[in-house]
A and B are shown apart, each in its own frame.
Chain A
C-alpha cells in the first residue's frame, strides 16, 4: 500500500517536472565576446605583497581595470586610479585596459594546482590560464597537454611534464626574467650607498632566479668598487621572516650597512631589522617596489630590484586579446621593460653624478655593450665595464 502511494507520488513529481522542462524557454545563450582570463596563484596567494600580487595587478588592475574588494568581488576603478597603478618606468609602455573578465583561483596546497586549472578550463571556459611561479611548472605542463584548445602562460619557469623534464607544448608561453640585470643595477646603487664598504645579501633558496639576482648584485658591486666585501647567505626558506631577521642581524653585526634580499616573505624580517635600527642602514627590496609598502620599511628602503611580473602578465593577456599569441619562452629584459630598479630613496643616498653613472650603466646594458653573469660563481672571473 505504502509503496504504491510512494510510486504515485513519484510519478506525479516526474510528470510535473517534465511539464516544466517542456516549458523551459529555449533561448540560446548570447555569444560572449568578452575574453576570459583565469589565473591560479601559488600557495603564497593574494596579499603576498610580492609575486602573486604583482601578477594580479597585471591581470585585474591593468587588463581588467577593476579592483579586488576585500572578501571577494570586483569594483571598477577610475582613470586616475588606473594611471596611479602604473609605475614610472612603465609609463611609456602604453598600458591600456583590455576589457577582459578575470577569474582568480587561489590554491591551498600544491595538490590544488591541477584541479584549479581544470576548473578554470572546463567550468569557466577561460581563453588563457595563467600560472604564477615556478611551483606551477608541472601543473601547467600537464594541463597544457590535456587541454590543447586553451592557452597557458607560466611565470618564471618553462613548463615541465610529470617527470620534471622541460617540454614545449604549442599552447604555452613561459616568461622568464633577466634578474641579473636589475640585480646589477641595485648592486651598483648599493656600492655607492655603503659607508662601511660591506654589503649584505640574503637569498631564499638557491633556485635559478635567485641565483641570477645574486650574480647581478655581486657584479654590480664589483663594477663600482671591487674592494667591497659581500656577506651573503641563504636562509633555505621563502616564508620565514624570523630567519630573514636573524640573517640581517648577523650581517649588520659584521659591518654591513646595505642589505639586499631575494627571499620572498623571509626578506620582510630583513626590513624589520633595518627599520628597528634606522639610519644609516639601507634595505633593498626585490620583485616589486617595496619602498611603496607601508608595512615594510618605506623610510629606509634604498631601492628595489623590480621584476615586472605584472607587465609580463599584461603582455601575455594582450597577445591573447589581439590574437598574436605565440608559444615558447619569452625572456623579459631591461630593454623591454621587464626588469628595472625603483627610485625610492636613491636620490637621498646618492649624488646626482652617481645616479647618472648608474643610469649610464643601465643604458650600456640596454645597448648590449656588456653582459652581466648569471651564475654567482662566475662573477670573480668576470671583467666589469670600466668606462661609464
Chain B
C-alpha cells in the first residue's frame, strides 16, 4: 500500500518520501497559528475569524455550503491552472513568473474567440474546443517567447517573464479592450462585447456558478503528471530541471536538446496558465472587462510552492488557496479586513521557504537528536 501510494503520488524513491507532504502541512498549520496571533493582537477574536473564514470557504459542510463549495472549486480551478504553470516550468529548472501574463493572454484570447463573428454562431461542442485550442496556442506562444529568449539568447527567464507580464497587460488594457476589441458605445458595455451563449462553460451544479472548469483542470493535471512521470519527454525535462539550476551539462551530454526542451517547457507552462484566464472569461465574467484586477498568476506561484511543484500537491494547494480566497471577503462580517487570508497565504509560503529547517526538525524527531546532527554534519562536510 505504502509503495503504491508512494509511486502514484510522488514517483520518487526517497527514504523520507512522506516529507513532501508533511512539510507543507506543517507550514500551513504554523501560518494559521501566526495568523491567529495577528488577529489577537489587533483585539479581535481569532476563533470567530477562522469560523467565518472556514464557514464560507466551502471546505466544511454548513449553512450555504453549496454555493460556497461551488465558489471554492471555481477559484481553485484558476489557482490550479496558474500553479501548474509555475510548477511545470520549475520541473524544467525554470523560474516562471509569467503566469499572470499567460493568464490574461488566455483571457483575452477566450474573449475574442467567444464573441468574434465567424466563431460565435458555431454550436457549443465545436465552439468551446475551438476556443480552448486558441487559448492554448495564445498562452503557449506567449510563454515560449520567454523560453526562446532563455534558450537562444541566454536571457534569464525571471527578467523576461516579468517584462512580458507588463507587455501583455498594456497590450490588452491600454490597447485591445479600449481599441479594436471595444464593445460598441451604444450597447453601454465597457470592455469587450459579451461572449456568445455557445462559448459559456456548461454549469454542472444547479443554482451555483460552478462549471466544467474544475473537471477540465483536473484532467489537464493528470495529463501533466502522466507527461512528467510516464514519458521520455517528461523525464528529459525533469533531468534538465535537476541540473539546469547548477548549470550542469549532464542532460546535454546525455543527448537532450536542452534548447528545444526549454522552449517546449515554457510553451506548456504558458498554455496551462492561460487556461485559467479562459476559465475566468468563459465561466465567470463572460467578457474581458476594461480593468482586470488579477493576481491569480502571482498567487499561482504560492500554490506551486505550497504544492511542492508536484501535480497532486498543486491540486491540493489550489483547493486550499481557493478556499481561503472564497472565505476571504466573509471575514469582513467580523470587521476583519479582507486581506487577512492573504496574510495567511503569505506566511504559508514563508514557512515553505523555511522547509529545510522544518525538514531538519522533523528529521530530529524521527531519527533522534544525535543521529540527525550526524547526518547534517556529514552532509555539510562533503
Contacts and interface: CB of A to CB of B under 8 A. Distances in A.
A239 B291 contact: yes
B293 A109 contact: yes
A109 B173 contact: no
A205 B290 contact: yes
B328 A119 contact: no
Interface string B328-342: 111011111110000
A124 B333 contact: yes
Contacts of A162: 194, 200, 286
B193 interface: yes
- Judged by DSSP, the binding face of B is loop
Contacts of A119: 56, 329-330, 333
A164 B194 contact: yes
B287 A164 contact: yes
Contact of A236 (B68, B71, B173): B173
A105 B329 contact: yes
Interface in A159-207: 160, 162-164, 166, 205-207
Interface stretch (A91-99, A110-118, A354-362): A110-118
Interface of B: 42, 44, 56, 63-64, 67-68, 71, 74-75, 173-174, 178, 183, 185, 187-190, 193-194, 197, 200, 209, 280, 284-287, 289-295, 325-326, 328-330, 332-338
Which has the most chain B C-beta neighbours within 10 Å: A73, A115, A123, A162? A115
Contacts of B197: 163
Contacts of A110: 284-285, 289, 292-293
Contacts of B336: 72
Interface residues of A, number: 41
Given A43-B293, A162-B286, A163-B286, 8 more contacts: A71-B337, A105-B330, A105-B333, A109-B295, A122-B64, A123-B330, A138-B286, A158-B188
Interface in A76-117: 103-112, 114-116
A164 B189 contact: yes
Given A123-B333, A164-B189, A237-B174, A118 B67 contact: yes
A236 B174 contact: yes
B333 A103 contact: yes
A111 B333 contact: no
Given A118-B67, A166-B188, A239-B291, A106 B332 contact: yes
Contacts of B330: 105, 119, 123
Contacts of B338: 105-108
Contacts of B74: 111
A205 B183 CA distance: 13
A114 B326 CA distance: 12
Contacts of A106: 329, 332, 338
Contacts of B187: 164
B178 A114 contact: no
Nearest to A238: B291
B64 A135 contact: no
A325 interface: no
A207 B56 CA distance: 35
A194 to B, nearest CB: 29
A73 B45 CA distance: 13
22 contacts: A71-B42, A71-B337, A73-B335, A105-B329, A105-B333, A107-B338, A108-B293, A111-B280, A111-B284, A112-B329, A123-B63, A123-B64, A160-B189, A162-B200, A164-B193, A166-B188, A205-B178, A206-B185, A207-B190, A207-B290, A236-B173, A237-B174
